[in-house]
């Protein structure tokens, strides 16, 4: 079973036991759905939103229709990468150590999520590099369409990896919250 981030289509079925018990469309109505979980899911939505904005800006630049591309790209990408690194750090150090003790059936799921974070680190590096290449061209007063085309390819790939990770992570974490209602403050 191929469960690496770059090729995975979904989580292996045996790691979806709780996801099947708690389908996504019933999460927010459940009595154990709490504010912290809502906040955490909102962070994921925010990452998807900013990712989309970066892609739209790059596409507009390629279409000759983004006069403020360099400052917007720098701002969105800097914010996105900083926030994502912070988010991973909180998950690695505070969330996952609590959640991976709750249900022995899902132990393997946390190995997958941990590996995802390492894989995303490499993609974060690639995204920063391609973004900087575009910004350097523009700041030097040159046309950056070739570099922006390469960046869009990397952004589109990143969107795929990000969505895969966020979707699977949500399918692991939220059902654990609903089943076990862990006390995140007291743990």
Closest distance of CB 170 from Fe ion, Å: 8
Query: Which one, 72 or 169, has the nearer CB to Fe ion?
Result: 169
- What is the rounded distance in angstroms from the CA atom of residue 80 to the CA atom of residue 124? 10
Q: Among 94, 88, 95, 86, which Cα is nearest to 115's? A: 88
Query: Which one, 46 or 62, has the nearer CB to Fe ion?
Result: 46
Residues 6+ apart with CB under 8 A from 127: 77, 81, 154, 155, 158
- What is the rounded distance in angstroms from the CA atom of residue 186 to the CA atom of residue 35? 16
Binding mask 155-174 for Fe ion (x = CB under 5 A): --------------x-----
Query: Which one, 3 or 91, has the nearer CB to Fe ion?
Result: 91
The residues in 79-138 that bind Fe ion, with binding defined as CB under 5 A, are 91
Residues 6+ apart with CB under 8 A from 81: 124, 127, 128
Closest distance of CB 116 from Fe ion, Å: 6
Closest distance of CB 71 from Fe ion, Å: 28
Closest distance of CB 7 from Fe ion, Å: 18
Number of residues that bind Fe ion (CB under 5 A): 2
Query: Which one, 55 or 83, has the nearer CB to Fe ion?
Result: 83
Residues 6+ apart with CB under 8 A from 65: none
Interacting residue ranges for Fe ion, rule: CB under 5 A: 91, 169
């Amino acid at each position: 079973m191929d469960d690496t981030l770059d090729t995975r289509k979904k989580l292996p079925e045996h790691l979806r036991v709780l996801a099947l018990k708690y389908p996504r469309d019933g999460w927010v109505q459940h009595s154990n759905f709490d504010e912290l979980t809502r906040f955490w899911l909102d962070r994921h939505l925010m990452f998807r939103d900013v990712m989309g904005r970066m892609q739209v800006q790059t596409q507009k630049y390629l279409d000759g229709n983004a006069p403020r591309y360099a400052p917007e790209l720098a701002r969105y990408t800097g914010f996105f990468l900083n926030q994502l690194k912070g988010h991973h750090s909180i998950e690695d150090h505070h969330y996952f150590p609590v959640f991976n003790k709750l249900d022995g059936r899902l132990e393997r799921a946390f190995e997958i999520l941990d590996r995802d974070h390492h894989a995303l680190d490499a993609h974060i590096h690639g995204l920063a590099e391609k973004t900087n290449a575009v910004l350097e061209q523009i700041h030097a007063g040159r046309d950056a369409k070739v570099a922006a085309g390469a960046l869009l390819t990397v952004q589109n790939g990143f969107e795929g990896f990000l969505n895969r990770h966020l979707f699977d992570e949500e399918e692991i974490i939220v059902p654990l919250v609903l089943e076990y209602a862990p006390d995140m403050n007291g743990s």
